[in-house]
């Protein structure tokens, strides 16, 4: 039996609330038990310089934890002037996971920026972020197709 009262083989309750924010092309509030992560997807024209002339888009990700997402306050990494190794690796993991799931050739010269903000951390923030980011990305791509920014993405 776990501290929260769940059996060892029992999964946490899972909730994905789509279209959570008003302005992002895609947004999802992910709740894995007491872990809560807000994920948004933004589509912007342009690509990184290293992709110029290659006829493909790009997906990048940012990840952060609110100062009181844990039991004790942690200073914002931006206030420290640099991101920690853990944060950078999680950002890379999210972005690589999503790039592996999308045909970047079909994005044209657009960049999709994924933002994942941990509101409350109680374990599983990486998997919650990747899950939420993938749904936010799918919603953003669907919106871009509807607005005729992109052709249907397979």
- Report the percent of the chain where pLDDT is more than 90: 79
pLDDT of residue 150: 84
Give yes or no for residue 152 having a pLDDT over 80: no
Neighbours of 29 (CB within 10 A): 18
- 2, with CB counted inside 10 A (0-12, 13-18, 19+), is exposed
Across the chain, what does the average pLDDT equal?
A: 93
CATH number of 14-71+83-146: 3.30.230.70
Tell me the mean pLDDT in the region 61-74: 95
154 — pLDDT class (breaks 50, 70, 90): low
State residue 7's pLDDT score.
84
> Looking at the predicted structure, is the pLDDT value of residue 84 above 80?
yes
| Block residue for tokens 């996971």 | 97
What mean pLDDT comes out for the span 49-72? Answer: 95
Domain positions in the chain are 14-71+83-146
Pairing of strands 58-65, 35-45: unpaired
More confident call, 3 vs 40 = 40
């Amino acid at each position: 039996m776990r501290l929260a009262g769940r059996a060892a083989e029992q999964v946490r309750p899972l909730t994905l609330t789509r279209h959570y924010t008003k302005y992002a092309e895609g947004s999802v509030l992910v709740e894995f038990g007491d872990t809560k992560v807000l994920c948004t997807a933004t589509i912007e024209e342009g690509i990184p310089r290293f992709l110029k002339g290659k006829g493909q888009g790009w997906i990048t990700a940012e990840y952060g934890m609110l100062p009181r997402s844990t039991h004790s306050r942690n200073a914002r990494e931006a206030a420290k002037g640099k991101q920690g190794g853990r944060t950078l690796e999680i950002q890379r993991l999210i972005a690589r996971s999503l790039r592996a799931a999308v045909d970047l050739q079909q994005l044209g010269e657009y960049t999709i920026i994924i933002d994942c903000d941990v509101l409350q951390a109680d374990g599983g923030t990486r998997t919650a972020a990747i899950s939420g980011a993938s749904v936010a990305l799918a919603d953003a791509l669907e919106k871009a197709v509807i607005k005729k920014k992109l052709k249907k993405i397979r």
